[in-house]
A and B are shown apart, each in its own frame.
Chain A
Amino acid sequence: DAGVIQSPRHEVTEMGQEVTLRCKPISGHDYLFWYRQTMMRGLELLIYFNNNVPIDDSGMPEDRFSAKMPNASFSTLKIQPSEPRDSAVYFCASSLQGEQYFGPGTRLTVT
């Protein structure tokens, strides 16, 4: 299996621009998670889906953040408008039995 795939791997954008991060989970996994990792706050859960349905979005920091999962093999995390404090590494993870498998992450820099 190819594992969890994320794109882009790096994103540099200016404040105010829209950013879209993409994730393809492991085939057959029915849970998908979006995390954000910073030195200050560690690894934070933003939102997770079960069978393409959002279950818990309590970690989404603001209305500027939105996530969708239109089908079992694709999810997006969108930030609009982006701000410098959104700079972080964003991870997508998927699971079937509780053990989560992470993608390589997207390093986002907002200038």
Chain B
Amino acid sequence: QKEVEQNSGPLSVPEGAIASLNCTYSDRGSQSFFWYRQYSGKSPELIMFIYSNGDKEDGRFTAQLNKASQYVSLLIRDSQPSDSATYLCAVSFSGGYQKVTFGTGTKLQVIP
């Protein structure tokens, strides 16, 4: 069974620090990788996607992909209390470009 694994947390970091969120996946042929942010009681919101090995930066967010290790991470620099949310990793497995499998999410708490 194709799986996406995340530590449920909570991950607590002080305001201004770097938050590092990690995700592993089971299918070596996976093609596309997404990070969603979900505030309590709200819908998932796409914040980053990455398709190639390496780093991709967008503002305070950096997605890192290592296909050999089947590992994708999200770094949030200068963490703010407004970043406190659950972060969901989603992976499209080989043969299914549009269909993604979501991890259970990591809850991030940024302490002022």
Q: Tell whether A and B belong to one assembly.
A: yes
Residues of A that sit less than 8 Å from B by CB: 31, 42-43, 45, 48, 50, 55-56, 91, 95, 98-105
- Give the chain B neighbours of A95 by CB distance below 8 A: 98
- At the interface, is chain A mostly helix, strand, loop or mixed? strand
Q: Are B34 and A43 in contact (CB under 8 A)?
A: no
How many residues of chain B are within 8 Å of chain A by beta carbon? 21
> What is the CA–CA distance of A12 and B99 in the complex, to the nearest angstrom?
30
Instruction: Given A43-B44, A91-B44, verify A99-B102 contact (CB < 8 Å).
Output: no
Identity of the chain A residue whose Cβ is nearest the Cβ of B97 in the assembled complex: A98
Instruction: Given A42-B104, A42-B105, A43-B88, verify A99-B46 contact (CB < 8 Å).
Output: yes
> What is the CA–CA distance of A43 and B86 in the complex, to the nearest angstrom?
12
Q: Are A48 and B102 in contact (CB under 8 A)?
A: no
